[in-house]
Amino acid sequence: QVQLVQSGAEVKKPGASVKISCKASGYSFTSYYIHWVRQAPGQGLEWMGIINTSGGSASFAQNFQGRVTVTRDTSTSTVWMELSSLRSEDTAVYYCSRDYIPLGGRYSDSWGQGTLVTVSS
């Protein structure tokens, strides 16, 4: 079955970077894009960006441009999301999800378990 398994929780100091992995299994990795979504404590969902796992191109929300890098390794079916210049407001659970495009739509059909990133001095 489709599975997305993310790396474990991280604690970082302000100004540092964090790199989170998302390992996919149970499907053809390069046939589906991967989204990144985050959720600050007690807050709603915030869409961060998306990567084309085949070609490697990515698109990000304006809030994150210049601070986020998303890469993938097709040999291991893994996507990495790196967020730099961390500040306290980046404390959140970060999710990867698989992009599914049926006729007339587009949605995240499978999600990773989430990775908690805590930014604290």
Give the footprint of another protein on this chain (CB under 8 A): 35, 37, 44-47, 49-50, 59-62, 95, 97, 102, 104-109, 111-114
* Half-sphere exposure of residue 113: CA atoms within 13 angstroms, side-chain side: 7
CB nearer another protein, residue 10 or residue 46:
46
Closest CA to 115 of 83, 85, 87, 67: 83
Rounded to the nearest whole angstrom, what is the least distance from the CB of residue 49 to another protein in the complex?
8
Give which of 47, 49, 1, 5 is closest to 23, Cα–Cα: 5
Nearer to another protein, 15 or 66 (CB): 66
Q: How far is the CB of 6 from another protein (least distance, A)?
A: 10
Give dist(CA 73, CA 93) in Å, integer. Answer: 23
Q: How far is the CB of 97 from another protein (least distance, A)?
A: 8
With respect to another protein, which residue has the nearer C-beta, 11 or 61?
A: 61
Q: How far is the CB of 78 from another protein (least distance, A)?
A: 18
Tokens 């474990």 locate to 8
**Nearest CA to 98 among 22, 43, 9?**
22
